[in-house]
Chains A and B, each alone.
Chain A
Amino acid sequence: MSKIANAFKNGKAFIPFFTAGDPNIEKTVEYALAMEEAGCDLIEIGIPFSDPMAEGVVIQDANVRALKQNTTTDDVFDAIKAIREKSDIPIVFLTYINPVFFYGYERFFKKCNDLGIDGIISPDLPYEEKGEIADIARKYDVDIISLIAPTSKERIQKIASEATGYIYVVSSLGVTGMRSEIKTDLNAIIKDIRDVTDLPLAVGFGINTPKQASEIGGIADGVIVGSAIVKIIEEHGENAAEPLKEYVSSMKKACNE
């Protein structure tokens, strides 16, 4: 049992995402700890990639900023090490598969295990290609977090039945980014998933306001927010800790209202 289960024991979970190395790798450590202090339950940390195909403009730009700082996979691991000196909050990597493939699956997941990384989300590794990392991730106790999209339909059965950690329910078609309205019938998708698995379900893509967080909190087990967090970092640069804390704390509260 990974630490991920703990993230869903404190009411509805609030899960922030941000890109490591934006604005620099030292701030990655500071911001992760600040968000934990503000009450988030699990943190998704992005390993920067040159071509983040599933991201909208806000997170694309964060990747550009992180890579301009020459943030490497090893830098990200160093940041995790520094976070782990002070915190045991569940941490999940969000990474395109090529940086992991290039690093070497064995080496990457061993390092995840050494540093207490609890899971990995790879937006370009669907069910059919999970075999790339399934055995190694299991060996090193890293949960592969599966994504389920509004288009998944009959695929839900096989994805959910093999899922580990939590399920990332993609709220909308399209790339990541803040949306004023979530149009997908999430109730139906969530019901379909719950028919298959007891794993916690966290919804992401497009969520940014407390009102949305509250609505999602009413039907799912967790709320994932990426672009809005990254936008705060974009706006405040090296001074984002306080605004992040304020935002995270308001969202955590909203999730449970």
Chain B
Amino acid sequence: MNNGRYGEYGGQYISETLMNELLYLEEQYHHYMNDPDFVEELNTLLKEYAGRPSLLYYAKRMTEDLGGAKIYLKREDLNHTGAHKINNVLGQVLLAKKMGKTRVIAETGAGQHGVATATAAALLDMECEVFMGEVDTKRQALNVYRMELLGAKVHSVKSGTKTLKDAVNDAFRDWIARVHDTNYVIGSTMGPHPFPMIVRDFQAVISAEARQQFLEIEGKLPTAVIACVGGGSNAMGAFYNFIEDDEVKLIGCEAGGKGVDTPYNAAALTNGKIGIFHGMKSIFNQGDYGQIAPVYSVSAGLDYPGVGPEHAYLRDTGRAEYVPINDEEAVEAFEYLSRMEGIIPAIESAHAVAHAMKIAPTMDKDDIIMICLSGRGDKDVRSIAEYRGVELNE
């Protein structure tokens, strides 16, 4: 893929004011990725700070209970800050620092990317401001405080639907005013080129490790790789190094919300249409006349009305398959994995767990499923309790 195109998707649909900065970012990105010192510095951070490589864990009880394919969890939840987001953020913030920037900004939905960015900014001594929809600041209040503890300023975004897409809008609005000293550390494989490429490359460590781990542990590659998809960064990272391995099925799980036949979902690849938004041509949930549609998911991290351009391309070419998982299925999977393996997954990742629960029993015992467990679920405990009608007194 080149020039930021994935088939017809991708591109750079963004204000002229940002164009030179995007071109510069791309140039600097290639420069530093070819600089052995930068690569070593980043790898050291990933190893010694983030805790990579992440474990590839055989979920024995779950496998036995489901009675089909062998299930492995790629434990991105064990990374420092509790999600895959740190992989990308260490790369982007380090890059920003090398580029001479003194400030980074980020959007966040569930708060995981905001926390990761605030963390990397603290570590690398950069100023950090995070944009978060007002609705999300409420359902993820703990993460707001976490970011503040880390020294970041959190802006509660009150425009539009007050969720992730509006946080992205405001992050771009901030960046366009301060391109000289600021890098926008985008959290997913989305936005104008080169962001989808940069984020994918930094997240590709997930599948690079997993591929090698499978060959060592099982002597073969998995039958299927399953990951949740909002913008699509953990899925892109989990898929990337398996794309050439035709025998590995790649499955992305979108937020089906209250059902894909209701207005309350965020399943862009199921319900969306091709469009141009947030700097990219891709698939978006949109209403008549191309207005971006409000979306809904129990998971703040999947609550995005679109998907990264490379996912749209992987779907069109048939290389990956995308399925909706509704709230109830995700919450059941959240509870199931907690009980069965003693691992509380992020509600986002629980969407992938839910799909594995559906397909594992239909598969052979020598089949292997890898679930990308993109994050841990501590942040979701309160909202899941609420979903179940359990009152928590704190």
Contacts and interface: CB of A to CB of B under 8 A. Distances in A.
B172 A97 contact: no
B297 interface: no
B45 interface: no
Contact of A155 (B19, B273, B286): B19
A147 interface: yes
A151 B17 contact: yes
B359 interface: no
A72 interface: yes
Contacts of A42: none
Contacts, number: 115
Given A50-B160, A124-B15, A129-B12, A151 B21 contact: yes
B215 interface: no
Interface stretch (A33-41, A99-107, A245-253): A99-107
A49 B178 contact: no
Interface string A139-165: 000000011111111010001000000
A149 B286 contact: no
B276 A98 contact: yes
Interface string B259-299: 00000000000000111111100001010111110000000
A22 B33 CA distance: 49
Given A54-B176, A128-B19, A103 B14 contact: no
Max count, chain B CB within 10 A of own CB: residue among A103, A127, A129, A155: A129
B13 interface: yes
A225 interface: no
Contact of A151 (B179, B276, B286): B179
A129 B17 CA distance: 14
A67 interface: yes
Interface residues of A, number: 42
A175 B171 CA distance: 11
In the complex, which of the residues A49, A53, A153 has the most CB atoms of chain B within 10 Å of its own CB atom?
A53
Contacts of B21: 151
A7 interface: no
Contacts of A159: 16
B290 A101 contact: yes
A125 B13 contact: yes
Contact of B177 (A60, A103, A126, A174): A174
B9 to A, nearest CB: 13
A51 interface: yes
A243 B329 CA distance: 57
Interface string A93-126: 0000111111100000000000000000001111
Contact of B277 (A57, A98, A155): A98
Nearest to B13: A124
B275 A53 contact: no
B20 interface: yes
A197 interface: no
Most chain A beta-carbon neighbours within 10 Å: one of B165, B277, B286, B292: B277
B133 interface: no
B276 A173 contact: no
Nearest to B3: A128
Interface residues of B, number: 37
Given A98-B276, A126-B14, A152-B16, A175 B290 contact: no
Most chain B CB within 10 A, of A126, A129, A170, A174, is at: A126
Contact of B173 (A126, A149, A175): A175
Interface string B1-19: 0000000000111111111
A200 B279 CA distance: 28
Contact of A97 (B17, B20, B165, B276): B276
B159 interface: yes
A123 B15 contact: yes
A174 to B, nearest CB: 3
Contacts of B284: 98
A24 interface: no
B250 to A, nearest CB: 28
A73 interface: yes
Contacts of B292: 50-51, 98
A173 B178 contact: yes
A98 B292 CA distance: 9
B16 A73 contact: no
Nearest to B287: A50
Contacts of A51: 160, 165-166, 169, 277-278, 292
A53 B291 CA distance: 13
Contacts of A152: 16-17, 19-20
Contacts of A124: 13-15, 276, 279
Given A51-B277, A174-B176, A97 B19 contact: no
A170 B16 contact: yes
A102 B289 contact: yes
Given A98-B276, A173-B176, A175-B176, A72 B16 contact: no
A128 B166 CA distance: 25
A93 to B, nearest CB: 14
Contacts of A151: 16-21, 179
A101 B289 CA distance: 9
A147 B160 contact: no
B177 A173 contact: yes
A49 B276 contact: no
A119 B52 CA distance: 54
Contacts of B11: 128-129
Interface of B: 11-21, 159-160, 165-166, 169, 172-173, 176-180, 273-279, 284, 286, 288-292
What are the nearest 6 A-B pairs in CB distance? A102-B290, A174-B177, A149-B17, A50-B291, A99-B290, A98-B290
Given A54-B173, A102-B273, 6 more contacts: A51-B169, A98-B276, A98-B286, A98-B292, A124-B15, A152-B16
